Amino acid sequence: MGQTGSKGTTLTTLKSIVQEMNQIPELDKALFRLATRVKHTVNVDSCSIYLADYEHQEFILKATDGLHPDAVEQVRIGFSEGLIGLVGQREEPLNIENAHQHPRFKHYDEVQEENLNAFLGTPIIHQRKVLGVITLQQQQMRRFSENEEAFLVTLATQLALEITNADIRGALGTNTSFGTALRQKNVVGIPGSPGLAVGKGFPPDRSFSLRTWVVRRTNSPQDEIQVYRKAVEITREQVDSLSKSLDDGIPDDVKSIFQLYHHLLDANSLGREVEEKVRQGWDAGSSLKMVVDAYATRFQEMDDPYMQERAIDIVDLSNRILTNILIEAKGKKIVEKQPLEDSILVAEEVSATMLAEFPRDKLKGIISIKGSANSHAAILARAMGVPAVMGCQSLSPALLEEKDILLDGYSGEVIVSPERTIRSEFIHLIEEEEAISERINAESDQPCQSQDGCRMSLFINAGLSAEAELGSANMGAGIGLFRTEIPFMMRERFPSEKEQVELYRQILSAAPDLPITMRTLDVGGDKPLPYFPINEENPFLGWRGVRLTLDHPEIFLVQIRAMLRASIGFDNLQIMLPMISSVGEVEEARRLIDQAFFEIRDEIKDSGERLNKPRIGIMLEVPSVLYQLPQLAKQVDFFSVGSNDLTQYLLAVDRNNTRVAGLYNSYHPAVLGALYDIVKQANVSQVPVTVCGEIAGEPGGAILLMGMGYRRLSMNAFNLRKVNWLIRNVNLSESKHLLSRALTSSSHQEVFLHLNQYLESKGLGGLIRAGA
Strand partners, 574: 517, 615
User: How many angstroms separate the CA atoms of 125 and 648, rounded?
Assistant: 26
Q: Where are any strands of DSSP class E within 318-412?
A: 343-347, 363-368, 388-390, 404-408
User: How many angstroms separate the CA atoms of 379 and 386, rounded?
Assistant: 10
Catalytic residue among 376, 668, 748, 754: 376
The upper half-sphere exposure of residue 534, i.e. CA atoms within 13 Å in the direction of its Cβ, equals: 21
Task: Give the burial string for 272-302 (b: 16+ CB within 10 Å, else e).
Answer: ebbbebbeeebbbbbbbbbbbbebbeebbeb
Q: Is 578 helix (H, G, I), strand (E, B) or coil?
A: coil
| Residue 692 a catalytic site member | yes
Write the CB contacts of 8 (distance below 8 Å, at least 6 apart in sequence).
none
User: How many angstroms separate the CA atoms of 434 and 439, rounded?
Assistant: 9
Chain centre to alpha carbon of residue 57:
33
Alpha-carbon separation of residue 24 from 11, 21, 179, 476, 551 (angstroms)? 21, 6, 16, 59, 55
Total Cβ atoms within 10 A of residue 746: 8
Give the residue among 89, 67, 204 at the shortest CA–CA distance from 137: 67
Strand partners, 457: 712
User: How many angstroms separate the CA atoms of 274 and 263, rounded?
Assistant: 15
User: How many angstroms separate the CA atoms of 707 and 739, rounded?
Assistant: 6
Give the residue among 359, 418, 368 at the shortest CA–CA distance from 393: 368
| Residue 376 a catalytic site member | yes
Total Cβ atoms within 10 A of residue 481: 27
Pairing of strands 343-347, 712-716: unpaired
Total Cβ atoms within 10 A of residue 493: 10
Q: Is 219 exposed, middle or buried (0-12, 13-18, 19+ CB in 10 A)?
A: exposed
SS3 content of the chain, % helix, strand, coil (to 5): 50, 15, 35
Q: Phi and psi (nearest 5°) for 141?
A: -80, 110
The upper half-sphere exposure of residue 767, i.e. CA atoms within 13 Å in the direction of its Cβ, equals: 19
Q: Where are any strands of DSSP class E within 653-707?
A: 689-691
User: How many angstroms separate the CA atoms of 35 and 66, rounded?
Assistant: 9
Q: What is the DSSP letter of 343?
A: E
Catalytic residue among 448, 668, 692, 754: 692
Cα angle value 320/325/329 (rounded, 5°): 155
Q: Is 388 helix (H, G, I), strand (E, B) or coil?
A: strand
Give the residue among 423, 355, 416 at the shortest CA–CA distance from 387: 355
The region, left, alpha or beta by phi > 0 then psi within -120 to 50, assigned to residue 453 is left
Give the residue among 314, 231, 321, 325 at the shortest CA–CA distance from 283: 325
Q: Phi and psi (nearest 5°) for 433?
A: -60, -40
Q: Phi and psi (nearest 5°) for 116?
A: -95, 120
Q: Phi and psi (nearest 5°) for 378?
A: -70, -40
- In the chain, what's the furthest Cα-to-Cα distance? 103
Q: Is 611 exposed, middle or buried (0-12, 13-18, 19+ CB in 10 A)?
A: buried
| Size of the chain, expressed as the number of residues it contains | 772
Q: Where are any strands of DSSP class E within 541-637?
A: 573-577, 615-620
Question: What amino acid is encoded at 202 in this protein?
Answer: F
Residues with catalytic annotation? 376, 692
